[in-house]
Structure 1
């Protein structure tokens, strides 16, 4: 297949991962940053940042993201971000390098999907795990029954390991991947006397 056909397919995959009305349960607050700890914070998506070109224009990273060694153009990245922002909560992940915060990834939570990308330079520091734990907490607060990752490719062992360590389990097999899910415990209601 030609690479432009794969690009169209990859964007279509992103669009199909979320139900059309999934944004209804999200209240966007574009001005609120979330400090997870002294090193990591989340910044709501505002516009495309140059750092994201590095992740989505790296064929090896894209192989783990969409299952094909390809790259996105700046326009396709912008299209993806715009769509994700309209259909869920989209944040940049920033890491404190001492004197300043550096954009090192992005994370997206929708009604029926969750996706996270971390720059290669910052992998294996448990950043993805820490951010995902925050979104597990947030999903519980939102009253969700499950948190779902629609697709983790069979060769992406690092993602499989991270999600299974957080008690996600594979529940739906596709050709080269699995969907993962974690059941969320709802907060107990106190019986009134």
Structure 2
């Protein structure tokens, strides 16, 4: 099975979309909103949202996401989201700061990859950690043996720290990055999400 990386440019996504489709165990029509805690809610991808332009057009964020200080166009983001939605579970991350709800990122779980993007203004609040804990739980419920992050760049120390604190370990070295993985056990599923 070919590993698809969500972080590719839209031209690569179009090329990959012409390849044979893999069967997915995800049931998109059954996706619903998920309340992670009182501040964080996951909203299944339904349409392109303007907030994502901020994350995917910020050179510093893109350096951590794709390894280059580029900016995606609206069309490239839409194509990326469409592809991710076809090949896994794609959600927007909604945050309640006590006054209003705001879309602050996105998260994607596929059979062979996991990716999360948080708006710079909302980092260092453990939002990514809480969302990732939920997806560890979700991957266990789906019967997965592993949850894999295909690429964390060597300079992205914050992501490395978060994933290693959640028992992910580097297992494959790439040119400027490592792939990380966490083994999933079927016992004590509820313990993970309640921490």
Give the shorter-chain TM-score range. Answer: 0.7 to 0.9
Q: TM-score, normalised by structure 1?
A: 0.87
Alpha-carbon distance between aligned partners in 1 of 2:174 and 2:14, rounded to the nearest angstrom: 15
Q: Tell me the equivalent position of 1:155.
A: 155
Alignment of 1:1-193 (within 5 A): 10-11=9-10, 12=12, 21-22=21-22, 24-29=24-29, 32-187=32-187
**Contact 1:113 / 1:149 at 8 angstroms: preserved in 2?**
yes
State the 1:93 CA deviation. Answer: 0.1
Alpha-carbon distance between aligned partners in 2 of 1:72 and 1:87, rounded to the nearest angstrom: 20
Alpha-carbon distance between aligned partners in 2 of 1:66 and 1:14, rounded to the nearest angstrom: 17
State the 1:101 CA deviation. Answer: 1.1
Q: Deviations over 1:115-146 (max 9, x none)?
A: 00000000000000000000000000000000
Alpha-carbon distance between aligned partners in 2 of 1:48 and 1:22, rounded to the nearest angstrom: 24
State the aligned residue count.
Answer: 179
Alpha-carbon distance between aligned partners in 2 of 1:23 and 1:91, rounded to the nearest angstrom: 20
**Contact 1:144 / 1:186 at 8 angstroms: preserved in 2?**
no
**Contact 1:22 / 1:110 at 8 angstroms: preserved in 2?**
no
Gaps of 5+ in 2: 1-6, 189-195
Q: Deviations over 1:80-134 (max 9, x none)?
A: 0000000000000000022321000000000000000000000000000000000
Cα distance 1:22–1:125, how it changes in 2: closer, same or farther (>3 A)?
Answer: farther
Gaps of 5+ in 1: 1-7, 189-193
State the 1:28 CA deviation. Answer: 1.0
Cα distance 1:169–1:20, how it changes in 2: closer, same or farther (>3 A)?
Answer: farther
State the 1:21 CA deviation. Answer: 4.5
State the 1:24 CA deviation. Answer: 1.5
State the 1:154 CA deviation. Answer: 0.2
Deviates more, 1:102-111 or 1:91-100: 91-100
Alpha-carbon distance between aligned partners in 1 of 2:14 and 2:182, rounded to the nearest angstrom: 20
SS in 1 for 2:99: coil
RMSD: 2.2
State the 1:31 CA deviation. Answer: 5.8
